[in-house]
Structure 1
Amino acid sequence: MSQTSSGSVLLVDGMALLFRGFYATSSGGYIMRTNSGTPINAVYGFLKYMLDAIQTFKPSHVVCCWDMGSKTFRTEKFEAYKANRGEAPEELIPQFDLVKEVTASFNIPNVGVFGYEADDCIGTLARSYSSQTKVQILTGDHDMLQLVDENTEVIIMKKGHSNYMVYTLETLMEEKSLTPPQIIDLKGLTGDTADNYPGVKGIGEKTATKLLVEYQTIDGILENLAALPKGVRAKIEAELDMLHLSRDLATIRLDAPVACALEDCEWAMERDKVISKFEELEFKGLMRLIG
């Protein structure tokens, strides 16, 4: 493990935290607003999650990555990709820009690029940082497990406050019996209902994992089709094109056109700047979190 820095960089999946924050704070139907009527509940929830993770994992550097609209290279390859998702709730829409202003008030870079998803930005930055320092990815999205390596951990937020599962190569193997590249092939076989691509109809996670443990990769499975149970073989043969397409859609790109120098994302909060933003948004309850 070649490291030139003893710190760590926390890559935050901004949308995952923002949506989680929105639904966690609006489940009773009440939406927090400023006196002028601006909805702020999602930003409030986002900050609680982000600041708790920073306090828990104590990174030396922090970057926040965002989706930039729904049109990406994946929707060009497969029109139905994420087409099952409705419009964002009306109260959430003004908070998309607001949350970036708040993040910027902490001197945290906001990173995103049109045509790619936040996942691709996170994957690309993780790859570029991991030779210099330890990388931790904060998300709720299990797709990110494909990014785990010797120097990169994926922190999955679980239900409840301060409840995290930290995936390393060891814990991933213990829990799922799979390596990070096999997570991609797993998605190729099973598809992803959240992202609306089907994989191979009729193959669930249990069968897919068993096949991958035995044959290592989708290519290995295809080379051994004759050895598979007749039913499984028939399902795969009927869906070969979709299998390859689903694997491609599941692959997080590590070469997105994004860059953010490590020295530009040092965690260096200027308290006065943050307080001024918090006062503007009437975040009295969050003041104690910034010390």
Structure 2
Amino acid sequence: MAADTNKTRRIGDVAVSAIGLGAMPMSIEGRPDEERSIATIHAALDAGINLIDTADAYHLTATDVGHNESLIAKALASYGGDTSDVLVATKGGHVRPGDGSWTLDGSPKHIAAAAEASLKRLGVEAIGLYQFHRPDPKTPYEDSVGAVRDLLDAGKIRMAGISNANPEQIKQAQEILGGRLVSVQNQFSPAFRSSEPELELCDELGIAFLPWSPLGGISRAGDLGNQHPAFHTLAAELGVSPQRLTLAWMLAKSPYVVPIPGSSRPETIRDSYAAIELTLTADQVAVLDAA
């Protein structure tokens, strides 16, 4: 681990900012215009964020597949500064037919084709971090993760992760990948804490744990303080937003936690990133754990 794990953490052998940018809100329902989205990504980079999470399924229509990946590639290409250390983490295995639904396809054939398409949209020689998005009941888990292993072996991806996995699947993936699993991305927030066992296992194994929707999701993030009084009270005492406090709480839970709050406005990602400057006491963490 890096010396100051409140500011920098590791995914595999790559140093990343302790807070990443979840780019999904910029491509699904209610998405902003491209200008604001690119301004948001640039604001994240300006702040010091070098981890951006995306997926090929972050789009609206069936002809819009990979919208988020293409948006990120455009934002990185138009950024005035150095982007050589930016880790773009994408995912495959979810499908949006265009009718508003989310379906699954974890077949090796789909994973291979999806990764190839993501690689082209991102405009890279190898994807920095590729994550199997969600287990597909129609496909044996070992087949889906095996397809990710094949991508790793072929040099199409530099690192491999999984998402929406339980402890048994984490252990299984680690075995299938030959000890090369570097990250697990699960839902985790003050309102959704059932991924505590996965967080604890990742801490034990030394694998990065990436909480998705850490602030409760797109429609609920702004109301976090009202929904969780303990977070509201302590945030007021510290003079910070409940959202910033929530991310600081997650950072305090394990040096392997790397939250990826979604954002579609420059000001919200700046506030989220400022959580790296907020260090909580053990007593404060305990209060929030019990809330």
Greater fraction strand: 2
> If you compute each CA radius of gyration, which structure gives the higher value, 1 or 2?
1
TM-score (norm 2): 0.31
Greater fraction helix: 1
